[in-house]
Chains A and B, each alone.
Chain A
Amino acid sequence: QVQLQESGPGLVKPSQTLSLTCTVSGDSINNDDYYWNWIRQPPGKGLEWIGYIYYSGNTYHNPSLKSRVTISVDTSKNQFSLKLSSVTAADTAVYYCARYPGGIDAFDIWGLGTMVTVSS
C-alpha cells in the first residue's frame, strides 16, 4: 500500500523559505510511471496545484508562483521536497504531496497534508 507523508516546520517567518519533504513508502520514487506533486490549500479556500517532479529530476511548476518554487528529489531516501522562497501570509496553507500516475489524468494517492503558517 503506497503512502505519502509530508513533514516540515509548521511556522515560517515572512520573507524566509518554506521547506517541506514528502516521504514515499510502499513504492519506489524511481518508478518512471509517476510524477510527484505538491498541492496546497489556504484556509477557507480551494486547492492550488504547485508543481511536480519526475524521478529523473525534471520539474514543472505553476507559473503563478513565479520563480519562488524549487522541487527536488532524493531517490536514495525515497523523498521529494518543496522549497518556496520569500513567503508571505498568502502562503499560509495546508500543503499536500500527491502522486500523478500519468496513465490517467488524476492524483491517485495523497498525503494527509501539513499546515504551514507564515507569521512573525
Chain B
Amino acid sequence: QSALTQPASVSGSPGQSITISCSGTSSDVGDNDYVSWYQQRPGEIFKLMIYDVSNRPSGVSNRFSGSKSGNTASLTISGLQAEDEADYYCSSYTSSPTRWVFGTGTKVTVL
C-alpha cells in the first residue's frame, strides 16, 4: 500500500488561506469518508486537526477545514497565523489489509 501524496511544502503570508492536498486511490481516500489530518510542530506531539474528512475536534480552530473530492482530500487553513507553521499529515482508512495509510507530509511555512 503506497503512501498518500502531499506537496512537500506550502507557504503563505499571515492572513492568507492555503490548501494542502492529499492524493490517494480508490482503495483509500476515494473509498470512504475516513480521512484525518494531523499537525506536528517541532518537539510537540501530533495533534488531530480534522477527522472523517471535515470534522473538527473540540478545541481546534475553525480556521481549519477539510474536504474531499474523488481520490483527493484537502486541508484548508484560512487566516494563516505564525502558530500554524508546522508539518501536516493526512491519513486514510483503506480497504486493504494495511488498514491505515498516511500522507508524505507537508511543511507549512508562514512568510
Contact = CB atoms under 8 A, between A and B. Distances in A.
* B is bound to A: yes
Contact of A46 (B36, B52, B105): B105
B98 A49 contact: yes
Nearest to B105: A46
Contacts, number: 56
A104 to B, nearest CB: 5
A105 B34 contact: yes
A107 B36 contact: yes
A96 interface: yes
Nearest to B1: A64
A89 to B, nearest CB: 20
Question: Of residues A62, A64, A96, A113, which shows the largest number of chain B Cβ atoms within 10 Å of its Cβ?
Answer: A62
B102 interface: yes
B94 to A, nearest CB: 10
Contacts of A39: 102
A106 interface: yes
A47 B52 contact: no
A116 interface: no
Interface of B: 1, 3, 34, 36, 38, 44-48, 51-52, 55, 57, 89, 91, 93, 97-105
A104 B48 CA distance: 11
A25 to B, nearest CB: 13
A34 interface: no
Chain A interface, DSSP helix/strand/loop, else mixed: loop
Interface residues of A, number: 20
Contacts of A98: 46
Contacts of B34: 105
B45 A110 contact: yes
Contact of B99 (A46, A49, A104, A112): A49
A105 B46 contact: no
A107 B37 CA distance: 10
Question: Of residues A62, A106, A112, which shows the largest number of chain B Cβ atoms within 10 Å of its Cβ?
Answer: A106
Given A46-B103, A105-B36, A106-B52, A62 B46 contact: no
8 contacts: A46-B104, A49-B100, A49-B102, A64-B1, A98-B46, A108-B48, A108-B51, A108-B57
